[in-house]
Amino acid sequence: MSLPEKFTKPYNAAETEDRISKLWEESGFFNPDNLPGDRKEVFSMVLPPPNVTGVLHMGHALTITLEDIMTRFHRMKGASTLWIPGADHAAVATQAKVENEIYKKEGKTRKDLGREELLRRIIEFAEASKETIIKQTKRMGASVDWSRFAFTLDEKRSFAVRTAFKKMHDAGLIYRGYRIVNWDPKGQTTLSDDEVTHEERKAKLYTFKYSKEFPITIATTRPETKLGDTAVAVNPSDARYKKYIGKEYDIDFAGAKLHIKIVGDESVDPAFGTGALGVTPAHSIIDAEIAERHKLPMIPVINEYARIILDLPGLKDKKVAEAREIIVEWLKKESLLEKEEEVTHNVALSYRTNGVIEPLPKLQWFIAASKEFDHFDKKTTLKKIMRKPVENGEIEIIPDHFKKTYFHWVDDLRDWCISRQIWYGHRIPVWYCQACGPAHGGDMAKCAEPIVRIEDVKKCPHCGGPVEQDPDTLDTWFSSALWTFSTLGWPEDSKDLKTFHPTNVLETGYEILFFWVARMILMSGFFLNEIPFKTVYLHGTIRDTKGKKMSKSLGNAVDPLDMIAKYGTDAIRMSLVVGTAPGTDSKIDENKIRAYKHFANKIWNIARFVLENTEDLEEVKVTATKDKELWNVFENLKKDMTKDIGEFRFYLASEKIYHYLWHEFADNIIEESKTVLKTREKNSRQMLLKMILEESLKLLHPFMPFVTEEIWQLMKKPNLLAIEKWPV
RNA sequence: GGGCGCUUAGUUCAGUUGGUUAGAACAUUCGCUUCACACGCGAAAGGUCGCAGGUUCGAGUCCUGCAGCGCCCACCA
């Protein structure tokens, strides 16, 4: 065998990678159904579906790299290996993005376009985005099974979502309630508690009385909401206010007629502020809870556009900020304002649109987290379903300390608001009779019930009257929570589901531990009475060189595709893995990427040397004592690496093979071989060189699949390296 | 306010259950167009492992306290 011409030039990643990608794709081996041999072990995993809002970023590159390492490793180890790719419709984010673009380009809002047209435009955008994601995932070398690609909003997943909704509703766990919810006036939708972030901002705290006659002073940063106050709460043991508890006052407050009851409530901290709290049941979750305890009425003051809805001259339709000034002016004029001070407080923001959250009472759909119900012959709650498998070790979380974070979240969890007032997403499978009652020969009470169905409902099953579907859509995380089994064919009792569920590993960023990981445990537990995965591997956030989070708006994002073009995919993959411990943030360093480009070339030249010097090799055994020793060292490396990868220490395994190949194999063994090959021990040494090269390529393959496969192919091996047997 | 984590060479980070002179990459210095590779080779310099105690035959590694940084959750009106 003469040495291929290619080896006279440095390794060219750009020329190689596309060709190798095609080779893999044509082989079909990324689909477990096509894998050769008898494979008893199973290894399955889902790729966290990227949002269809955009393009691949460094976080995706890291996820793909880590998951591909696991997948390729287990495939080579002889497992029936399935890694499912997909995309997430990311309802709020995607709709907000498209609406934004349309408004910028055409000056049109969602109302101008209407539901149907806006949806058409979003779907168009999502489709294009999906294509981009697929192309980019392929460039990363991901050995996913494209034939099983799933989209959270495709037909099969929609069916799963509707089935899930119906079943949970029938179990009494999905209910409709009029509650204070997190309303995002910018995105025009509700959000779950987890979709709200907090940011410190400066604000003014006003201390005042409602009226001159009112005995208690209160404080607030939001005077405009005080138009909806129905009580003042004080701590029942507070000596200053004890005598007022139970008393009621009628007050004229900036034109609004308030009826304020003084109530005693343990939740009030006597040491804070004036020790008295103006209760606004309609616009504060805490206040609503107090109101519930004391049966206080709720007066909505602010609407979905963050404007005043009370019919008060000078205030109606005013934005909250304006209304605030008007109220403050009024307080000053009436000499009711006692103090005005600057404070920093946390403002609630939408994690998708960054709009300021306005707590509003709304009729929404919820999932009951703490309600007890019968589940496979046992009493349980969804919280317990989430807590138990992590507690008893059925599910392992790496790194371990995230367990604590997880338990805190589960224990504090309130009911999950799942309805969203946007158009893009899974429409809630609920219909309402439009013509209730006896006029249609129906039963008034029955007709008033929401009709929950998996299939579309055309007319009221009770009276035959017209029906209308709930206009809302479901939280994106509802559909992604089903992901481990909806991608495998559920609710059908499919072969895939039996074979590949529970999945082995769920690898993702720690920032979506609650959003996604916890909710998958919930759904899988509820529907299948089974864990969704055995191990959760959490990776950190990739930050810029200054340690800042990368974001498009900051302009500090490093595009993995640029890096691939410059240094090759293998180099990016190695730079993302080596020295990156789980759960720890890391900074992107171009120098590091360049170093692994050099490493790819080093491998290339190692291969060249070995092939050049073993052309006349006769198949013999390694006989020389020294060679046997060297082989033993390598055997130990193999065992070590295998253990490391199996135990999720990719950062160690990758560094070990790097170090061995460069500083042991190349620097010592090859250098020494230049003289050994001139001695009587030539044959033994040739055999050693060849064996180490071939097995090293296998060991390195999960990390640097392209350069290793390319060399393997140039060695005219009959099989793909991707399905070669792991050497341990 | 509650919780979690981090602090190791100039920089970015490893250090897996405590065990021989604390590692890597990049950067730096010096010398090399040596016949696999200048995307390289050889050599060198660089750390009181945040601070203070403690446990131990032995601590970067375990415990306590302190300081600085970061993250998450809750939210105080």
pLDDT in tens, A160-169: 999 999 999 9
Specify whether the CB–CB gap between A281 and A291 falls below 8 A.
Answer: yes
Please tell me the predicted confidence (pLDDT) of residue A556: 78
A198 C-beta less than 7 Å away from strand B:
yes
Strand B nucleotides within 7 Å of a protein CB: 2-6, 12-16, 23-27, 36-37, 39-42, 72-77
Q: Each residue of A202-254: pLDDT tens digit?
A: 889 999 999 999 999 999 999 999 999 999 999 999 999 999 999 999 999 99
Please tell me the predicted confidence (pLDDT) of residue A442: 57
A639 C-beta less than 7 Å away from strand B:
no
Q: Which two tokens stand for residue A104?
A: 């910028």
A34, HSE (Cβ side, Cα atoms, 13 Å): 12
Q: Each residue of A512-536: pLDDT tens digit?
A: 999 999 999 999 999 999 999 999 9
Q: Where are the beta strands (DSSP E) in A144-195?
A: 150-151, 174-184, 189-191
A513 C-beta less than 7 Å away from strand B:
no
The single residue listed with the structure tokens 């909710």 is A519
Specify whether the CB–CB gap between A114 and A77 falls below 8 A.
Answer: no
CA A152 to chain centre: 13
Q: Where are the beta strands (DSSP E) in A626-693?
A: none
**Nearest nucleotide (CA of A9 to C1'):** B37
Helices A682-700, A625-646: inter-axial angle, 10-degree rounding: 10
Helix H, strand E, coil C: the string for A395-461 is CEEECCCHHHHHHHHHHHCCCEECEECCCCCCECCEEEECCCCHHHCCCHHHHHCCEECCCCCCECC
Q: Using CB atoms within 10 Å of the CB of residue A309, give its burial: 0 to 12 exposed, 13 to 18 middle, 19+ buried.
A: middle
Confidence of residue A76 (pLDDT cuts 50, 70, 90): very high
Question: What's the DSSP call for residue A467?
Answer: E
Q: How far apart are the first and last CA of chain A?
A: 28
As a whole number of angstroms, the distance between CA A488 and CA A496 comes to 5
Average pLDDT over residues A83-99: 94
Please tell me the predicted confidence (pLDDT) of residue A440: 55
Specify whether the CB–CB gap between A535 and A504 falls below 8 A.
Answer: yes
Average pLDDT over residues A428-437: 85
pLDDT over threshold 80, residue A435: no
**Higher pLDDT residue, A579 or A653?**
A653
**Hey, is A267 helix, strand or coil?**
coil
When the pLDDT of each residue in chain A is averaged and rounded to a whole number, the result is 93
**Nearest nucleotide (CA of A599 to C1'):** B39
A193 C-beta less than 7 Å away from strand B:
yes
> Considering chain A, what percentage of its residues have pLDDT values greater than 70?
98
Q: Each residue of A260-297: pLDDT tens digit?
A: 999 999 989 888 888 999 999 999 999 999 999 999 99
Average pLDDT over residues A47-72: 93
A589 C-beta less than 7 Å away from strand B:
yes
Confidence of residue A443 (pLDDT cuts 50, 70, 90): low
To which H or E segment does residue A611 belong?
Answer: helix A590-613
* Cα separation values, A246 from A208, A242, A301, A564, A604, Å: 21, 9, 25, 71, 84
A223 C-beta less than 7 Å away from strand B:
no
Q: Each residue of A585-641: pLDDT tens digit?
A: 888 888 889 999 999 999 999 999 999 999 888 777 888 899 999 999 999 999 999
Please tell me the predicted confidence (pLDDT) of residue A439: 55
A23 C-beta less than 7 Å away from strand B:
no
Specify whether the CB–CB gap between A457 and A495 falls below 8 A.
Answer: no
**β-strands A150-151, A337-350: how paired?**
unpaired
Q: Give me the A residues in range 94-153 that sit within 7 A (CB) of strand B.
A: none
Please tell me the predicted confidence (pLDDT) of residue A437: 54
**Nearest nucleotide (CA of A571 to C1'):** B39
**Hey, is A115 helix, strand or coil?**
helix
Measured from Cα to the C1' atom, the residue closest to B25 is A592
Q: Using CB atoms within 10 Å of the CB of residue A105, give its burial: 0 to 12 exposed, 13 to 18 middle, 19+ buried.
A: exposed
Distance in Å from B49's C1' to A657's CA comes to: 26
The amino acid occupying position A493 is D
Q: Each residue of A118-131: pLDDT tens digit?
A: 999 999 999 999 99
Query: What is the reported pTM?
Result: 0.94
**Higher pLDDT residue, A348 or A438?**
A348
Q: Where are the beta strands (DSSP E) in A499-629?
A: 503-509, 533-539, 542-543, 586-587
Specify whether the CB–CB gap between A192 and A415 falls below 8 A.
Answer: no
Specify whether the CB–CB gap between A661 and A600 falls below 8 A.
Answer: no
Please tell me the predicted confidence (pLDDT) of residue A438: 53
Average pLDDT over residues A698-719: 95
**β-strands A430-433, A218-220: how paired?**
unpaired
pLDDT over threshold 80, residue A140: yes
Which one, of A560, A653, A590, A578, lies nearest residue A59 by Cα?
A560
A401 C-beta less than 7 Å away from strand B:
yes
Partners of A249 in the β-ladder: A260
**Hey, is A556 helix, strand or coil?**
coil
Sign of CA dihedral A469, A474, A480, A484: negative
A226 C-beta less than 7 Å away from strand B:
no
How high is the ipTM of this complex? 0.94
Within 8 A by CB and 6+ apart from A659, the residues are none
Specify whether the CB–CB gap between A137 and A129 falls below 8 A.
Answer: no
Please tell me the predicted confidence (pLDDT) of residue A447: 79
Average pLDDT over residues A434-448: 67
Q: Which two tokens stand for residue A203?
A: 């604000």
Specify whether the CB–CB gap between A608 and A2 falls below 8 A.
Answer: no
Q: Each residue of A329-385: pLDDT tens digit?
A: 999 999 999 999 888 888 999 988 889 999 999 999 999 999 999 999 999 999 999
Distance in Å from B39's C1' to A592's CA comes to: 13
As a whole number of angstroms, the distance between CA A367 and CA A171 comes to 11
Please tell me the predicted confidence (pLDDT) of residue A441: 58
Distance in Å from B2's C1' to A509's CA comes to: 24
Specify whether the CB–CB gap between A280 and A247 falls below 8 A.
Answer: no
Please tell me the predicted confidence (pLDDT) of residue A621: 86
Question: What's the DSSP call for residue A662?
Answer: I
**Nearest nucleotide (CA of A667 to C1'):** B41
The single residue listed with the structure tokens 């929404």 is A364
Confidence of residue A552 (pLDDT cuts 50, 70, 90): confident
Q: Give me the A residues in range 527-566 that sit within 7 A (CB) of strand B.
A: 547
Partners of A257 in the β-ladder: A252
The amino acid occupying position A30 is F
pLDDT over threshold 90, residue A448: no
